[in-house]
Homo-oligomer: A and B are copies of this chain.
Amino acid sequence: MKKILFFFLAISCCGSLAAENGYECWLRYTTADKSVIKSYRQRIQSITLFGTSSTIDAARFELSTALLGLLGKTIPGSNSIRDGSVIAGTTSSSILLSKNITVSDLSQAGTEGFVILSKIIDGKNCTLIIANSDIGVLYGVFHFLRLLQTAQPIQSLHIISAPRIKLRLLNHWDNLNRTVERGYAGSSIWNWHTLPGYIDQRYTDYARLNASIGINGTVLTNVNANATALTRPYLEKVAALANTFRPYGIKVYLTARFSAPIEIGGLKTADPLDPAVRDWWKQKADEIYSLIPDFGGFLVKANSEGQPGPQNYNRTHADGANMMAAAVAPHKGIIMWRAFVYSSENPDDRHKQAYIDFTPLDGKFADNVLVQVKNGPIDFMPREPFHPLFGAMPKTPLMMEFQLTQEYTGQGTHLVYLAPMFKECLESDTYAKGEGSTVAKVVDGSLDDHSLNGMAGVSNIGADINWCGHPFAQANWYALGRLSWDHQLSADTIADEWVRQSFSNHIPLVRDLKFIMLSSREIMVQYMNPLGLHHIMGTGHHYGPAPWVNDLSRPEWNPVYYHRADSFGIGFDRTKSGSNAIAQYKPEATELWRDSNDCDERYLLWFHHVCWNHRMRSGQTLWTALCMYYNMGVDRVSVMKIVWEKQKPFVDAVRFKQVSMLLDIQYEEACWWRDACLLYFQTFSKQPIKEPFVQPTHTLDYYKQLRFPYAPGN
């Protein structure tokens, strides 16, 4: 039995809440809420697990450890059914379970889902957790424990849950030297040097945390790939990780450097149509699968930002993807080919290029290929419209790529709950097949009938003790898992779950923390990128504002490219009088964007170049509205801080102080965004920053000369 261990606090220190270092994330298993613990103790008196796999062992250990923490006493395992039995297993492992579930319920659970039933068996109150697979049992156990952690009632349960999306992945932008690209939580957790011999406890706890939210795959390496990861010594290290994750239903994937046949294969070309190259990938795949029989496949960034790819040989993305697809297909592997492309040679609006490059390839990809698409057409900005590719490639499975790490949304110092952003995208209507053709339906395969489908989050995990840096950043990891399982969950529900598990069920605390979380994304948009502004951040590190930058080697890397501020106004005309990027959407989808006088103001400057005196719906001018939003965002950070400070009696002292300090930093940085941006845009608007708006304390030159040579993640 593979022992699973984790660390938890119990002793109250000097009358205050025991210090928490955040390591356990949402799997804290502290004593259950007063309102429910008596009922729980009555209804949970023994554990019966059927099956002998390492997955069932994981489930057993999780149950027993969690219940000890939640109920304050050891709940024994038992072979016999009694009042308060919790019984878990597959129907093939237990006749009892197969007798107590309907065919209908079980079939709805599918391969990974589960059913949780309250049943009276022989006069005894039992809770049954039933699935078609051992991993479904584990997921069901985690769901049951979540009910307990969130003080939910557990009588009369009849839960059927199956994931809506098949591939639910993290993407780690981790390098082999343990730096993390766009990482703000310390170094990479993968200690390659000591693998395969040393299996860090963190690897196991990583697997537990991911399994608890249904994540079933992880890409271990940076999309800016390193061919060394595909060499034998590294494959053996990867295999050790795969072995650790397997009981938790998590497959490993790697990024594939397109030029690997040259760099490590000694070939002279990486042309995807070259037989020697095709053979090299085939043999490489065979080698990988000999070590890792359930290896997931490759994630590829090609012909993007300098990465090699098929276009270097005048081949298409499909040619490249299909070559790799052929190599892994015999082993049931898949290829995720990223659509994040914008060419340094193409002067057309960056917004348009992925669509132009990829839509002609619709239907040309092999069956085991997904095209992975960022939520929006630029690059994870605080607000983007949904990516026009969604709905435009019906014959191809399109996989969602969200970014959990806060590269553009506050990095390591801002409290920003991103689920509202994810929901905004998922609920967007592409109108590809009429009304209701949401991005979610594209991604879950239901719109175009793709059984292969997926969602990925660029990880915010690092070696910091609390995994994610900012204590609240864990919520974004949590949210990605929950949404990949069920994209219909609301951001509110997910926040509610997370707060209750990560802090407590104390109702005022839950209410206040949710308030902070659910408003945080819009607040961040306001003090950084109001009214559809985007990509005006600092160069390289992307830390802080730098809307003035205009001298980078590629024009579409310059902030000025995106805001286009001039004496007339500001914003990027993407309508037909401009780049016409808007035409890549179905007309119905753009109703609220097309007319600058009638535009959803959240996207105004995304789609329109608008004069400084443009009259907003409120009657204000654009310039005044800009000043207002920047100031409002800053003020609302103060409100976040005030609400947080009220939580002092209800939160452990260490995390309370951590978040307080970070909110102070967030406030300072929000002021910095406000002041630097308004001072700069003012040089074009030539209008004052009027009362009641705050006068900047520094000059524009002050902000322009700030340097951060060691900002993290770069």
A-side interface residues toward B, CB under 8 Å? Answer: 3, 5-11, 13-14, 19-21, 23, 64-65, 68-69, 74, 176-178, 186-187, 192-194, 197-199, 201-202, 228, 412-413, 463-465, 653-654, 657-658, 661-662, 664-665, 668, 708-712
Contact status B709-A176, CB under 8 Å: yes
Given contacts A10-B11, A202-B465, 11 further A-B contacts (CB under 8 A): A7-B21, A13-B65, A14-B64, A14-B68, A14-B74, A23-B465, A178-B186, A193-B711, A194-B413, A198-B413, A228-B709
Given known A178-B712, A463-B187, contact A665–B21 (CB-CB < 8 A) = no
Kindly provide the distance from the CB of A27 to the nearest chain B CB, expressed in whole angstroms. 13
B177 near A14 with CB under 8 A, answer no
Per the bound structure, the CA–CA distance linking A23 and B466 in Å amounts to 13
Q: For the complex formed by this chain, how many copies does it contain in all?
A: 2
Residues of B within 8 A of A228 (CB): 709-710
Residues of B within 8 A of A413 (CB): 194, 198
A23-B21, A178-B712 given as contacts; is B10 within 8 A of A654 (CB)? no
**Nearest neighbor of A228 in chain B, beta-carbon distance:** B709
Whether A198 touches B665, Cβ cut-off 8 Å, given contacts A193-B712, A709-B228, is yes
Also in contact, A192 and B710, with CB within 8 A (given A186-B186, A201-B654): yes
CB of A698 to closest CB in B, whole Å: 14
CB pair A197–B668 under 8 Å, yes or no, is yes
- How far is A187 from B602 in the complex, measured between Cα atoms in Å? 40
- Chain B residue with Cβ nearest A712: B193
Which residue from B65, B194, B197, B664 sits with its C-beta under 8 Å from A197? Answer: B664
Nearest CB on B from A670, distance (A): 13
Identify 11 residue pairs between A and B in the complex whose beta-carbon atoms are under 8 Å apart, listed by A's number.
A3-B653, A9-B9, A11-B69, A176-B710, A178-B186, A178-B710, A186-B187, A187-B463, A194-B412, A197-B665, A198-B661
> Whole-angstrom distance between the alpha carbons of A668 and B178 in the complex?
23
Residues in B whose Cβ lies below 8 Å from that of A710: 176-178, 192-193, 228
The answer to whether A5 and B654 touch across the interface, beta carbons within 8 angstroms, is yes
Contact of A661 among B69, B74, B197, B412 (CB under 8 A): B197
**Complex alpha-carbon distance, A187 and B180, angstroms:** 12
Q: How close is A657's CB to chain B, nearest CB, in angstroms?
A: 8
Task: Give every chain B residue within 8 A of A202 (Cβ-Cβ).
Answer: 465
Q: In the complex the two chains form, what is the Cα distance from A187 to B5 in whole Å?
A: 25
Nearest residue, chain B, Cβ from A664: B197
Query: Sorted from nearest, which 3 A-B pairs have the closest CB atoms?
Result: A5-B19, A197-B665, A10-B11
Do A5 and B653 form a contact, CB below 8 Å, given A176-B710, A463-B186? yes
CA A661 – CA B710 in complex, angstroms? 35
Contacts of A465 in B (CB 8 A): 23, 202, 465
- Contact at A661–B199, with CB atoms within 8 Å? yes
- A712 — which chain B residues lie within 8 A by C-beta? 178, 193
Q: How far is it, in angstroms, between the C-alpha of A671 and the C-alpha of B194 when the chains are bound?
A: 16
Nearest residue in B to A708 (C-beta to C-beta)? B193
**Taking CB as reference atom, which chain B residue is nearest A412?**
B194
- Closest Cβ–Cβ distance, residue A464 to chain B (whole Å): 7
A193 to B543, CA, bound (A): 11
Q: Which one of B14, B201, B463 lies within 8 Å of A658 (CB-CB)? A: B201
What's the nearest-Cβ distance from chain B to residue A176, in Å?
Answer: 5
Shortest beta-carbon distance, A179 to chain B, in Å?
8
Instruction: Provide the residues of chain B in CB contact with A198, threshold 8 Å.
Output: 413, 658, 661-662, 665
Nearest-neighbour CB distance to chain B for A94, whole angstroms, equals: 24
Contacts of A21 in B (CB 8 A): 7, 23, 201
> B residues within 8 A CB of A653?
3, 5
